Amino acid sequence: MMYAQFASVYDELMLDIPYPAYVDLVDTALHGLSGKKILDVACGTGILSVLLAERGADVTGIDLSEEMLAVASSRASERFPSMIFLHQAMQQLNVPGQYDAAVIPIDSLNYLEDEQDVKQTFKKIHDALTPGGLFLFDVHSTFKTDVLFMESPFTYDSKKISYIWETEEGEEPHSIHSELAFFVREEDGRYVRFDEVHYQRTFPVMNYVEWLEQAGFSVERIFADWSDEAPEEESERIFFQLRK
């Protein structure tokens, strides 16, 4: 997966994501964000990192994409110039000190295709947290990968960016292979095309619970679709809230 051009359109594509709601979830679970050390894993272009910092948190962001991190650093530079961004894969997390909370937002964990990588990520996160530390993440439901994603092609069109997104089943259970063709409008009116290939995989809820408990976490709650409701058969996004 190449991110150099994707980073330039990422923010517009994420406009419908309720990032402030994610901040509220962390804020409520930590009983306030002021002075709390938070690890934003797979931070992308730093949207959530900056929102958390605006509430008083001391945020460190990590991401696999140097291009995404460059955008994140630029976003934070004016108001939070001391914010740290690290170029790391989540399953190889290596950060100094310990944190009050860690988040892996917006189905980023689903980019790990291998069960062992997921387990290793949980262990690395556990090691990075203080006792009683919070771990919050979300993943695609199996209903979303197996049913909803199979309804492609999907299209998007704005004044600046358009895409055609085609999907097919991946080789592993509950996995999705996506091919996206982007068309970005230049100032002279011409459109420049670039292509992306993404592969995501999710697992049944109880698999995640088993692996989290093996890593040493206690499950506080599991909920779905930005609500306080338990997951149902047709839920699309599953949230996990854990404690070390």
What's the pLDDT at 80? 96
Helix, strand, or coil here: 194?
Answer: strand
Helical (H) or strand (E) element with 207: helix 205-215
Write out the residue limits of the CATH 3.40.50.150 domain(s) in the chain: 6-141+203-243
Q: Reply yes or no on whether the pLDDT at 3 is more than 80.
A: no
Report DSSP state, residue 231: P
Helix, strand, or coil here: 172?
Answer: coil
What's the pLDDT at 1? 43
| Arithmetic mean of pLDDT over the chain | 95
The answer to whether 112 and 91 are in contact (CB under 8 A) is yes
Q: Reply yes or no on whether the pLDDT at 101 is more than 80.
A: yes
Domain spanning 6-141+203-243, CATH architecture: 3-Layer(aba) Sandwich (3.40)
Helix, strand, or coil here: 182?
Answer: strand
Which residues have a Cβ under 8 Å from the Cβ of 26 and sit 6 or more positions away? 33, 38, 52, 57, 101, 103, 134, 136
In Å, what is the CA distance from 20 to each residue of 34, 50, 122, 178?
16, 11, 25, 28
Q: Name the CATH superfamily, with its identifier, for domain 143-201.
A: S-adenosyl-L-methionine-dependent methyltransferases (2.20.25.110)
In Å, what is the CA distance from 195 to each residue of 49, 141, 166, 181, 214?
27, 26, 11, 5, 39
The β-bridge partners of 185 are 191
Q: pLDDT tens digits, residue range 196-232?
A: 999 999 999 999 999 999 999 999 999 999 999 999 9
Confidence of residue 4 (pLDDT cuts 50, 70, 90): low
The answer to whether 142 and 202 are in contact (CB under 8 A) is yes
Write out the residue limits of the CATH 2.20.25.110 domain(s) in the chain: 143-201
What's the pLDDT at 2? 45
The answer to whether 155 and 165 are in contact (CB under 8 A) is yes
Confidence of residue 13 (pLDDT cuts 50, 70, 90): confident
Helical (H) or strand (E) element with 178: strand 175-185
- Mean pLDDT across 151-157: 96
- Mean pLDDT across 148-160: 94
CA 123/CA 241 separation, integer angstroms: 15
Q: Reply yes or no on whether the pLDDT at 81 is more than 60.
A: yes
Burial (CB count <10 Å: 0-12, 13-18, 19+), residue 187:
exposed
What's the pLDDT at 232? 96
